[in-house]
Amino acid sequence: MARQTPLVEAHRAAGGRMVDFAGWELPVQYESVVAEHEAVRAAAGLFDVSHMGEIEFSGPGALDAVNGLISNDLDRCADGQALYAGLLNDEGGFVDDVVVYRFSPQRILLCVNASNREKDFAWMCERFPDIRPRQRSDDFAQLALQGPASAAILQRLTSSSLSALGNYRFTEGEVAKVPCLISRTGYTGEDGFELYCSPGAALSLWNALLEEGRAEGLKPAGLGARDSLRTEVKYPLYGQDIDAVHTPLEAGLSWAVKLDKERFVGKAALQAQKERGPQRKWVGFELTESGVPRHGYPVLAPSGSEGSGGSGAQRVGEVTSGTFGPAVQRPIGMAYVPVALAREGTPLQIEIRGRAVAAQVVKTPFWRRKA
């Protein structure tokens, strides 16, 4: 039996097509993935992301404990700042990717992937037996308001000043009389906010936002649009694009790794990998023929190319994520390929139902928000 968020009835009433995602019953779409995707790019969309997990460290030593677990550096962060980071294993692969909220050096909250919340918690307890984190996943619902109209809509419902809230900053305040953690973050490549509130208040917050944004074109949006939106900006999805065997250096996330930090789990492995140079790289590609690349499809080096070894086309990797990008209007995807094939313009082939379809490595993100 899948877990339900406080909004499950609202999703069904709005015509949401419910699916099981990471053990949660969530809407993959309401009316149309493309319409919801376009709403987020042009105006705004509202997502129920209550399945995401939260883990809190509090007390003296909280900052140091978390900093020893993550690849990015909380010491370079101010209170009220959020930080994207890898939670790594000793080999430098991902246990999870997380957003870390620094309330103060004594209070740190991590937002973790739904599929990883129990694993992450157990792993943190094991690594730090003296500082016990608190599993707070059931204490929060989370709504993501995303798109260029988000700030205007949200500002009418809160007395917190949003113009003072920069990207990856957060504050605590009321939205439509609901106490929230208001975070200027998201997973769509647009300006937007993630609002954490108590599960009991989620429905009232959801309804207030939808009502307030209706005139601007705000729509409820499902997992389908969430996935196509994040793919267009090449944000990784844990379990698909990043996992225990791929490192942040291979995934192009070195900006979230601070090797000059004194210590963190996985540092030695990443340092060694950096010195040797990573052997593979996570790249974006687009098809130059028609088709749609999907997770798991083989990636081939065309015969006669640098990576093929001279003979016929050779399998060099597989597609981690792929879709037809509704905003870029092209079939796009990502894959790990040998570094020799990672340069922009390198021809690749994607095997789609037994047919080799031409593709090439392109500059990413595929889509960039309007300034």
Partner 1 sequence: MVEDPKELKYTKDHEWARRAEPDAQRLVIGIPRHAGESLGDVVYVELPKVGSELKAGQPFGAVESTKAVSELFAPISGKVVRVNEALAASPHTVNEDPYGQGWMVEVEPAEPGAYEALLDVEAYRQLIAQ
Cβ distance 229 to 40 under 8 Å?
A: yes
C-alpha to C-alpha distance for 13 and 36, rounded to whole angstroms: 17
Least distance (Å) between residue 34 CB and partner 1: 4
C-alpha to C-alpha distance for 53 and 91, rounded to whole angstroms: 24
Question: Looking up tokens 């009321």, which residue turns up?
Answer: 174
CB atoms within 10 A of CB 215: 10
Spatial CB neighbours of 196, under 8 Å, sequence gap ≥ 6? 54, 140, 141, 142, 180, 181, 183
CB closer to partner 1, 49 vs 63? 49
CB closer to partner 1, 70 vs 221? 221
Least distance (Å) between residue 324 CB and partner 1: 4
CB closer to partner 1, 32 vs 198? 32
CB closer to partner 1, 327 vs 348? 327
Binding site for partner 1 (CB under 8 A): 28-29, 32-35, 37, 224, 227-228, 290-292, 294, 323-324, 326, 331, 353
CA 145 vs CA 40, 206, 235, 285: distances in Å: 9, 10, 17, 29
Least distance (Å) between residue 16 CB and partner 1: 13
CB closer to partner 1, 2 vs 34? 34
Least distance (Å) between residue 235 CB and partner 1: 16
Least distance (Å) between residue 248 CB and partner 1: 27
Beta strands in the chain (DSSP E): 3-4, 17-21, 24-29, 45-48, 53-58, 81-88, 94-104, 107-112, 134-135, 141-146, 170-175, 178-183, 192-197, 219-220, 280-287, 298-301, 314-325, 330-338, 347-352, 355-362
CB closer to partner 1, 70 vs 229? 229
Question: Looking up tokens 């009389």, which residue turns up?
Answer: 177
C-alpha to C-alpha distance for 111 and 186, rounded to whole angstroms: 12
CB closer to partner 1, 79 vs 289? 289
Residue 154: closest CA among 199, 220, 218? 218
Cβ distance 79 to 102 under 8 Å?
A: yes
Beta strands in 105-191 (DSSP E): 107-112, 134-135, 141-146, 170-175, 178-183
Least distance (Å) between residue 283 CB and partner 1: 22
Least distance (Å) between residue 175 CB and partner 1: 30
CB closer to partner 1, 269 vs 328? 328
Least distance (Å) between residue 51 CB and partner 1: 18
